[in-house]
Amino acid sequence: MIDHLQKSRRIVVKVGSSLLVDSAAARVKRDWLASLAADVADLRNENRDIIVVSSGAIALGRRALKLRDGLLRLDESQAAAAVGQVRLAQTYVDAFHVHGIAVAQILLTLEDTEERRRYLNARETLTTLLSLGAVPVINENDTIATAEIRYGDNDRLAARVSSMMEADMLVLLSDIDGLYTANPQRDGSARHIAEVGAITPEIEQMAEGPVSGSSKGGMQSKIAAAKIATAAGVAVIITNGHQLHPLKSPGDARKTLFVPGLSPAQAKKRWIAGSLSACGTLVIDAGAERALRSGKSLLPAGVKAVGGHFQRGDAVVVRSEDGRELARGLVAYNDEDAKRLAGRRTAEIEALLGYRGRDEMIHRDELAFTGRDAEPAEQVSGEYTP
């Protein structure tokens, strides 16, 4: 594991309930969490961003409320989550405090990663937290999520977060050491698979639903998560996290690595080029076109005209003055502000708008060429919707 993590700059670690909560004693496994916190602190000291997605709220809360064993009704799980989440968060605070690291609790619902404006906000807050040195600990907002708006399991939630945050690695710490050709608990001839290049129907067929008690996701939800993440350029590792220091397991420890076919940056550009419908147009001058082609961002000065109605973060088409489509990109201003800024220098932004926005109209990382001499704007396969 450790060699893969050392190649990654931003890592999302998903912690399953069965690792964190001793369900018989209804307690958090503090030694295990302390060892995870130590691993995370080490990775942070090497300048890596770490985001934790942690389950365990329902497992902790159900005991506190003395709810029966077995399947809970939706309202009971929601009540359990409300009680358990406070405890879960406090336990993380204690474990990371030892290393002088602040923990931030983020509770997400499906809409937060599906709806563009909420997604932008969630991403901005997470980015700020990471830049301030905090470790975000994310869970689904179980208490308010109804059946229709649930991620349903934290494997998928973690995959969405990885894609949203352009992580380069997602580690699913669970109670199994990876993908097998069949369920190893039932089939003695099941073989472990160390690496998956493409998630084919054959791979999907190998996976079964949940087996263990408190976890929601079985191998099926892990494969679904791996599909979402790899389509966004995120590599995925599924491994057994039961031992102490789960992120320090040696390179040859058993795990399954899912290799993405493209980088997060490429996935994002393809998504911008191929899957988004544009809400407006920016017409740019020849100097700006040359700047874009040499890999620079689009500055307000190069914009000659603005068309359509759009919000910050929407996709727009970039055209030349003679009407050729050159590129598509995510614009940093809404249409009204973009009109005020068109043709003006970056230094004037604050005076013109009354606030200090981004220097670029479209940042180069959020711009994809789509014109005739561009690479074909292929559709991203899978479910990449950052």
Contacting positions for ligand GLU (CB under 6 A) = 17, 55-59, 81, 139-140, 142, 153-154, 215-217
Q: Pick the closer one to ligand GLU by CB: 154 or 385.
A: 154
Nearest alpha-carbon partner for 259 in 240, 239, 231: 231
Q: Pick the closer one to ligand GLU by CB: 216 or 255.
A: 216
Q: Pick the closer one to ligand GLU by CB: 108 or 165.
A: 108
Q: Report d(CA 293, CA 290) in Å as an integer.
A: 5
The CB-side HSE value for 385 (13 A sphere, CA atoms) comes to 13
3-class DSSP assignment, residue 307? strand
Q: Pick the closer one to ligand GLU by CB: 57 or 196.
A: 57
Q: Pick the closer one to ligand GLU by CB: 79 or 318.
A: 79
CA dihedral sign of residues 79, 81, 83, 86: negative
Q: How far is the CB of 147 from ligand GLU (least distance, A)?
A: 14
User: In angstroms, how far is CA 212 from the centroid of its own chain?
Assistant: 25
Q: How far is the CB of 349 from ligand GLU (least distance, A)?
A: 42
Q: How far is the CB of 186 from ligand GLU (least distance, A)?
A: 22
- How do 135-140 and 103-108 pair as beta strands? parallel
Q: Pick the closer one to ligand GLU by CB: 109 or 139.
A: 139
Q: How far is the CB of 159 from ligand GLU (least distance, A)?
A: 12
3-class DSSP assignment, residue 193? strand
Q: How far is the CB of 16 from ligand GLU (least distance, A)?
A: 6
Q: Pick the closer one to ligand GLU by CB: 63 or 269.
A: 63
Q: Report d(CA 290, CA 335) in Å as an integer.
A: 24
Q: How far is the CB of 220 from ligand GLU (least distance, A)?
A: 12
Q: How far is the CB of 58 from ligand GLU (least distance, A)?
A: 3
Q: Which amino acid is at 299?
A: L
**Three-class DSSP labels, 312-344:** CCCEEEEEECCCCEEEEEECCCCHHHHHHHCCC
Q: Which helix (H) or strand (E) holds 129?
A: helix 116-131
CA torsion angle 329 335 339 341 (round to 10): -60
* DSSP summary character for residue 265: H
Give every CB contact of residue 58 below 8 A, 6+ residues apart in sequence: 17, 72, 77, 80, 81, 84, 142, 214
